[in-house]
Structure 1
Amino acid sequence: MSEIIKSVIDSADVVLFMKGVPAAPQCGFSMQVCQILNHVGVEFNSIDVLADGAIREGIKAYSQWPTIPQLYVKGEFIGGCDITREMFQSGELVALFDKAGIPHKATAKA
């Protein structure tokens, strides 16, 4: 399972493992991370962990992080909702996208 997860993470610059899909998140934390990424204007791939129990448990083992959502940028685990929100509010998230060369539209903090 870890090879499948790694290939998914490597398939795009920004990958979000979430509950539901961006158009219809199935939990508030997943919704917050989607809203942040959409506000910043970064393109991202999303994986609905509710659609596959093996992926849902596999991503937790892969990252050694117990909760969903999980955000990856250029293959690196960034964190869940709280970390993503704090990085967004401080400007660190946009700086990370800048450093990684990932196109986005917003440069202002929350």
Structure 2
Amino acid sequence: MDILERIREQVTNNPVIIYMKGTPQMPQCGFSNRAAQALHACGFEFAYVNVLTDPEIFQNLPRFANWPTFPQIYVDGELIGGCDITLELLQKGELKPMLEAAIHKKQNKEA
């Protein structure tokens, strides 16, 4: 499978996914840590990909959505941004409803 197709499949099949350096439990970068903490603060489960253990994704994800840095957070198949945007959405009270809507949409499709 082509790497961009693999990324597209991950983004499509997970209502919320973060591409980060490290894992939510052991982040390897401060930006990834803060973004994962913002997602945790909303109280929903989310998928993650450790880009440090997948060189193909590390090299190709920046061209998938034309976003050059990590972390990258996708909600309902769309890139919402990186650390700063995620924290801003959390502070404005917009992140949790966004995640909730994406998760419910996915659950309704599966039902």
Is TM-score (shorter-chain normalized) higher than 0.5?
yes
1:2-45 superposed Cα distances (whole Å, 9 cap, x missing partner): 10100111121100000001110000000001111111111100
Identify which of 88, 91, 106 aligns with 1:89: 91
- 3-state secondary structure, aligned to 2:13: coil
Where do 5+ consecutive residues of structure 2 fail to align? 105-111
TM-score normalised over the length of structure 2? 0.86
Correspondence for 1:59: 61
The CA distance in 2 between the partners of 1:6 and 1:101, in whole Å, is: 16
How many Å separate the matches in 2 of 1:101 and 1:49? 23
Under a length normalisation based on structure 1, what TM-score does the superposition of the two structures give? 0.87
The question of 1:4 aligning with 2:6 is answered yes
How far did residue 53 of structure 1 move? 1.5
| Aligned 1:5-84 pairs, distance under 5 A | 5-84=7-86
Secondary structure of residue in 1 paired with 2:68:
coil
Runs of 4+ in structure 1 deviating by more than 6 angstroms, as ranges, are none
One-letter code aligned to 2:98: L
Residue 62 of structure 2 aligns to which amino acid in structure 1?
K
Q: Judging changes above 3 Å, is the alpha-carbon distance between structure 1 residues 101 and 45 closer, same or farther for their aligned structure 2 residues?
A: closer
Structure 1 unaligned residues grouped into runs of 5+: 104-110
Quick one: distance in 1 between partners of 2:71 and 2:50? 10
- How far apart, CA to CA, are the structure 2 residues paired with 1:101 and 1:23? 23
More displaced, 18-27 or 34-43?
Answer: 34-43
CA RMSD of aligned residues (A): 1.3
Structure with the larger helix share:
2
Q: 1:74 to 1:52 in 2, by over 3 A?
A: same
How many residue pairs get aligned? The number is 102
